[in-house]
A and B are shown apart, each in its own frame.
Chain A
């Protein structure tokens, strides 16, 4: 009889233990610690506060707003992101690489800076003040789109890029209109990636924090901001725990639904090279091109106003804000110069990226396997969802959880600098998995079997059949993870040591103080951060062209 487990299965299973342990220590443990404090305040179960929390009209309002704003944000982001993904990954035109890097830029801008920029544009005195959107929920939705556009474009674009065009062509030859082709051929093929991206965006929206506070004033609370208030202001741990459990339940339900949709649609897809699949723009691409132009303008507007303001001081144009970035003594607010902070950011980002890529690749490999036994298929599916959970759980809960659980050897890590890349990797990990897994799953398993039947061992077979399609998404994921890590603020601000601040932390410190110089430096530093991201992503794009462009 053939063994129940193949050697590769066992190795992969063992390898999975590493990311699982990572998740257990840096997520499950802290979160259960906080929930424990909430529900077992004196060592025994106490649920007396639960009806009270659930009965507050405020709680219901917050839940409702979280739900609909996240859903609307996700829908809007997908609606704008899909045409952009099409243009940037299916069409060939000069400047495409730059645009691809550009749309990722918002993803790394510190929320507080974006919040300030959005408000500057939309406030009564701002250039778009006539719209009267300041203080309404509209800017919140816009910000959701602004931040998450990159997620949709990257995730869906990565899938779309190498897709064989012939299925679409044959449908068109059968008389289908472009819209029918899209509905009946393209969209079904992309569904797994779209669901993946939608899930991610929803999670990001529902746990958005800084941007909701800044743009919504205090009128639009979400579950996330509510948990923050209950935990940090009222120390109402039970209330926070109740909301955390609700958050957790909602996230689990959503992930399960998404996984079902994805699974039923996932299948092997014919792939050809990106060069073969990409074509020059045509007349009927105009709607997509317009949408892309719109998206680019939308991204550039806040960024542009950021650049303009970073170059101004006291009513005149100046580079003073940038010159001061290199000087550690330029402002007493900071202990290091912004240049040093950039160095810290880059170093941390390298660590976080390596961590996220290694763990993410293992997880993606495991969750893309289709074990025969139902039990193991279930385990794999659960694993897939588990690594998404950190995105759906309040950073405050995890952060405070770190403090109360990681306080004993060998996990006495509360004040360790290791936690910074770890926390960043936790945010990047789901993105890595979501970029790689759909691509891996789209490889026909019989390809591996064919290789095995020719004498290739399991690893060699996987390498032969999966590495070629993985090369591109791997680079995309690396760039993405790097960008996430560069821009991560929530956890980093909580954990970074003051003598090793990252750029977002420095920006936050600068912008929290009065003075034109501090504000100017904060804006200049944000521009630097954005440029850094565009450069990194641009380099990654270059590498991709150079390394796999001849396929």
Chain B
């Protein structure tokens, strides 16, 4: 188990990571999710032993890692851009950690084959990294990291350099591989879909501090603050009269809990039987849906979605409200969350 306690990293006058405490249980995958510049990569490097802590401790299986150099921690770090050794072949890259551990020749060959198979690149052993596509390079980097048999795999935005469809596919693959190999992993990303796909738990990191930490589904369902909610994909925030109007339309009864109601786009769908009325202000077609911006009567501007590609700007639509895709959050100040 990895335990971080009060980890703080400063660069000169600026604090990149402030008082972060986290745990990653054996065999589980924790995603640290945050916008770029929030300090999550620094946190990861601190865990790897590449950054000096200004305060706090990093412990593995209860042992304080202070003074343990990177290469003796038994972790593996996979960079955003792979950092493959350009002068070596794919097989030699994957072989590298095996050679470092002085594994036998036969075992090394077998293991390299196995890993290439695992990441879906059988027969790529003799290729040069420069001849591979970005996705292939990342797969090789993953195989190389796994070859180290790391007790903990550190993934620094492993997929964000890739294009979207590839990223979605690889994220799924990555999840499967991590589960299949039972690897404990700490993933850092700015992409919440990636985090949801790959991780069991997630920690949302904002401006150097962890704003919320918990099982992925919980963070997904119940973001603790408005900042977190915004970051994990909630787009509309309602309070006061609009909140009540929306609740009514959704058929909710009783007094609403305190706080702001955060809504995902899918919480408001175009539906002829819906109780809300609105005028479409913008319609953008994405791969499997049309994203709308709607002025909803009695509520205001809201994000909505539909499957009907015929809807145009200016159309009057009926909308169905769905409270299951909403959460109550507190004001934007993430520091007072639990």
Whether B100 contacts A450 by the Cβ 8 Å rule is: no
Known: A452-B49, A454-B148. 10 other contacts (CB 8 A): A2-B51, A270-B86, A450-B83, A451-B96, A452-B50, A454-B76, A454-B144, A456-B100, A458-B71, A468-B85
Whether B79 contacts A272 by the Cβ 8 Å rule is: no
Chain A residues near B145 (CB, 8 Å)?
Answer: 453-454
- Nearest to B7 among chain A residues (CB) is A1
**Could you tell me the distance between the alpha carbons of A461 and B77 in the complex, rounded to whole angstroms?**
14
Chain A residues near B52 (CB, 8 Å)?
Answer: 1-4, 372
Any B CB within 8 A of the CB of A447: yes
Q: Mark A1-34, 1 if CB is under 8 A from B, else 0.
A: 1111011000000000000000000000000000
Whether A455 contacts B83 by the Cβ 8 Å rule is: no
* Residues of chain A from 408 to 453 with CB closer than 8 A to chain B in the complex: 444, 446-447, 449-453
Whether B85 contacts A456 by the Cβ 8 Å rule is: no
Q: Quick one: which of B57, B67, B71, B101 has the most chain A CB within 10 A?
A: B71
* Residues of chain B from 28 to 55 with CB closer than 8 A to chain A in the complex: 45-46, 48-55
User: How many chain A residues touch the partner (CB < 8 A)?
Assistant: 32
Q: How far is the CB of B77 from chain A (nearest CB, A)?
A: 3
Chain B residues near A455 (CB, 8 Å)?
Answer: 71, 74, 76, 97, 100-101, 148
Any A CB within 8 A of the CB of B338: no
**Could you tell me the distance between the alpha carbons of A461 and B76 in the complex, rounded to whole angstroms?**
14
Whether A449 contacts B85 by the Cβ 8 Å rule is: no
Whether A446 contacts B83 by the Cβ 8 Å rule is: yes
A444-B83, A458-B71 in contact; A2/B130 too (CB < 8 A)? no
Chain B residues near A468 (CB, 8 Å)?
Answer: 85, 87
Any A CB within 8 A of the CB of B66: yes
Any A CB within 8 A of the CB of B62: no
**Could you tell me the distance between the alpha carbons of A461 and B49 in the complex, rounded to whole angstroms?**
14
Whether A2 contacts B49 by the Cβ 8 Å rule is: yes
Whether B71 contacts A452 by the Cβ 8 Å rule is: yes
**Could you tell me the distance between the alpha carbons of A458 and B147 in the complex, rounded to whole angstroms?**
19
Question: Which of B54, B66, B67, B77 meets A450, CB within 8 Å?
Answer: B77
Chain B residues near A457 (CB, 8 Å)?
Answer: 69, 71
Q: List 19 A-B contacts (CB under 8 A).
A: A1-B52, A1-B57, A6-B69, A7-B69, A272-B86, A449-B70, A449-B79, A450-B83, A453-B75, A453-B148, A454-B71, A454-B96, A454-B100, A455-B148, A456-B96, A458-B69, A461-B71, A465-B85, A469-B87
Chain A residues near B101 (CB, 8 Å)?
Answer: 455
**Could you tell me the distance between the alpha carbons of A486 and B96 in the complex, rounded to whole angstroms?**
42
Any A CB within 8 A of the CB of B12: yes
* Residues of chain A from 504 to 535 with CB closer than 8 A to chain B in the complex: none
Chain B residues near A458 (CB, 8 Å)?
Answer: 69, 71
Question: Which of A2, A451, A551 meets B87, CB within 8 Å?
Answer: A551
Q: How far is the CB of A424 from chain B (nearest CB, A)?
A: 33
Chain A residues near B140 (CB, 8 Å)?
Answer: none
Chain B residues near A270 (CB, 8 Å)?
Answer: 86
Name the 8 nearest CB pairs between A and B, nearest first. Answer: A453-B77, A450-B83, A468-B87, A452-B70, A454-B97, A2-B52, A1-B66, A1-B53
